[in-house]
Amino acid sequence: MRLNGDNLKMAVQRQGRLAEPSIGLLKSVGLDFDYYEGRLFAHCRNFPLDILFLRDDDIPEYVQDGVTDLGIVGLNITEEKGAQVAQLDCLDFGSCSLSIAVPGRGSIRTVFDLQGKRIATSYPRILSRFLSEKKIEARVIEISGSVEITPSLDVADAICDLVSTGSTLRLNDLEPIEVILKSEAVLIAHPQSLADPRKQELVERLRIRFQGNIKARKTKYIMMNAPQSALERIQQILPGMKSPTIVPLAETGMIAIHSAVPEEFFWDVIENLKKAGASDILVVPIEKMVV
Ligand code: PRT
Ligand code: ZN
């Protein structure tokens, strides 16, 4: 298979934590391409897009150099590489924090206790920037993997690594003391691709689709019955899209109310709706949402 010179090109992680959700996002917005593990590139049959599957560490540079127009990669990697790319959107997966952690029950309790200490990390650039902002002089030891074992080997006094559930830290008797970067998967672009009107139009079409998908995942569609007299109170509770849909029921004085509710408010909203007189509350997932 050959890359098509006119097509938009996007780099995604080949294998690892972001690979499956990235492919899932592309498929969920209707892009039709073949994918199997170990594949290096794929061509979309229904959109002028070629997808390259790469090591995540290489993605910012490929996008910076214009080898690909777009990339999906962790913010932690783009920041560490210091790549000159346009950061377009957060994609709502791959979230983690780059954190400084220290041995539990040790003498280091805040970042200012790191003065003169050794910190092991795979993120020397982000860590050094943080230390110099805080005017902390510490030795940064660059390690490419298994950073969490360095304090027990007396290679370092503290570590700076990605944390998601925190179980790796706990297993190694380490405690986080400072988050230095909150990260998630982001869509990045080669700045000159955005200056090309044809490519920019394609990028915008993809972004609208991605946003529609992310918004839908974060929103539920809710339907309920209520007495007409409760409508005003219910409307005040619903943080919906615009005004809710109201449908009269066969029973006099009763109505059905439909609305979209952001997931973050979901349980509070349901409890308050019940108190306001709503009954038979149905909640359904939304597949796509373009507002
Ligand atoms: O082969 P390639 O170079 O492409 O992949 P990789 O092995 O370098 O990266 P990979 O697949 O492990 O991670 C890809 C991206 O996922 C990272 O760059 C982050 O943006 C994101 N991500 C989200 C994470 C984590 N969560 C995460 N928890 N990346 C790594 N971890 C590791 C962390 O380094 C630590 O070892 O998981 C461990 C901690 O996890 P918890 O759950 O125990 O806290
Ligand atoms: Zn990597």
Residues of the chain with CATH 3.30.70.120: 219-285
Q: Which residues have C-beta under 5 Å from ligand 2, the single-atom ion?
A: 56-57
52 Cα to the center of ligand 2, angstroms:
15
Copy the structure tokens of residue 146. Answer: 């298994």
pLDDT score for 30: 94
SS3 (DSSP) at 135: coil
According to CATH, the topology of domain 96-183 is D-Maltodextrin-Binding Protein; domain 2 (3.40.190)
pLDDT score for 16: 95
Beta-bridge partners for 245: 258
Tally: H helices and E strands in the chain = 9, 15
Adjacency order of strands within the sheet including 70-74 = 41-43, 49-54, 8-13, 70-74, 185-189, 86-90
**What superfamily would CATH give domain 8-94+185-216?**
Periplasmic binding protein-like II (3.40.190.10)
Whether the CB-CB separation of 84 and 188 falls below 8 Å is answered with: no
Ligand number nearest CA of 22 is 1
Ligand number nearest CA of 160 is 1
d(CA 103, CA 121): 15
| Ligand 1 binding pocket, CB closer than 6 Å | 13, 15-18, 55-57, 74, 76-77, 94, 96, 161-168, 183
Which of 174, 13, 208 lies closest to 103 in space, CA to CA? 174
Owner of token pair 């297993």: 171
pLDDT score for 239: 75
pLDDT score for 142: 98
185 Cα to the center of ligand 2, angstroms:
13
pLDDT score for 105: 85
pLDDT score for 265: 83
Residues of the chain with CATH 3.40.190.10: 8-94+185-216, 96-183
d(CA 176, CA 269): 34
pLDDT string in tens for the chain (291-residue length):
566 678 999 999 999 999 999 999 999 999 999 988 888 999 999 999 999 999 999 999 999 999 999 999 999 999 999 999 999 999 999 999 999 999 998 999 999 999 999 999 999 999 999 999 999 999 999 999 999 999 999 999 999 999 999 999 999 999 999 999 999 999 999 999 999 999 999 999 999 999 999 989 888 999 999 999 999 999 888 876 567 899 999 999 999 999 988 888 888 889 999 999 999 999 999 988 877
Report which secondary-structure segment, H or E, holds 222: strand 219-227
Residue 38 corresponds to which amino acid? G
The reply to whether CATH 3.30.70.120 applies to domain 219-285 is yes
194 Cα to the center of ligand 2, angstroms:
26
d(CA 290, CA 288): 7
pLDDT score for 241: 58
